[in-house]
Amino acid sequence: MVESTNAVTYLIVDGENIDATLGVEVLDRRPSSEERPRWDRLRRFAEEQWEQPVKALFFLNGSSGELPTAFVRALLSMEYRPIPLAGVNQKVVDIGIQRTLEALEQWPGNVLLASHDGDFLPQIASLLGTDRRVGVVGFPEHLNAGFADLTEAGLEIFDLEDDALCFTHPLPRVRIIPIDKFDPLHFL
């Protein structure tokens, strides 16, 4: 059973999913390095959003047998824990994240998932309804629709660009903008 104190936020990053959504859905091409999310900003956002320390886990597909050493070093310098997983004909990152979310049911702490993937809906739903805060961060217009259904149960949804401020330049997104958040300067 989950204890009532949630002294940490577990930030779980599905980097492949965020990168693929950015490339395929937003940019319609492979993102350049300056267009990719600033992962240090995401970690800082998680810390500030719920005003507590963050344990940041970044899942990587290591099935090729090679680690992106420079990227792993960068993650470590930003206080992320890289978790490279390998397997044959398996969605190793998804499996690793699912197992981690399931394990967190027995641990106190808030959970913030960076992904758009509906494969995590059952695990996220299981974390709701307790004294913890649970959120998903990404591009809301590209989140699996099941996440919106979970907002009534307490799921918080955050925008990777607007809320977490993870990008250095505005992205060419097409989405519905609430009029009270509309800034014409972004379009001029």
Per-residue pLDDT of the chain (188 residues; tens, 9 = 90+): 344 456 899 999 999 999 999 999 999 999 998 899 999 999 999 999 999 999 999 999 999 888 899 999 999 999 999 999 999 889 999 999 999 999 999 999 999 999 999 999 999 999 998 889 999 999 999 999 999 999 999 999 999 999 999 999 888 888 888 898 888 887 77
The Cα–Cα gap between 45 and 25 comes to: 23
Please report whether residue 2 resides in a domain.
no
In a domain, 101, yes or no: yes
pTM of the predicted structure, to 2 decimals: 0.91
Residue 173 CB: number of other CB atoms within 10 A?
17
Helix locations, 31-185, DSSP H: 39-49, 69-77, 92-104, 121-127, 145-149
The β-bridge relationship of strands 134-138 and 54-61 is: unpaired
Residue 56 belongs to domain spanning: 9-187
- Is residue 160 within 8 A of residue 114, CB to CB? The reply is yes
In a domain, 1, yes or no: no
In a domain, residue 58? The reply is: yes
At 170, the amino acid letter reads: P
Within its chain, how far is the Cα of 149 from the centroid? 18
For residue 164, the SS3 value is coil
Beta strands in the chain (DSSP E): 9-14, 54-61, 80-85, 110-114, 134-138, 156-159
Q: How many domains does the chain have?
A: 1
CATH number of the domain enclosing 180: 3.40.50.1010
57 lies in a domain?
yes
pLDDT for the residue 176: 80
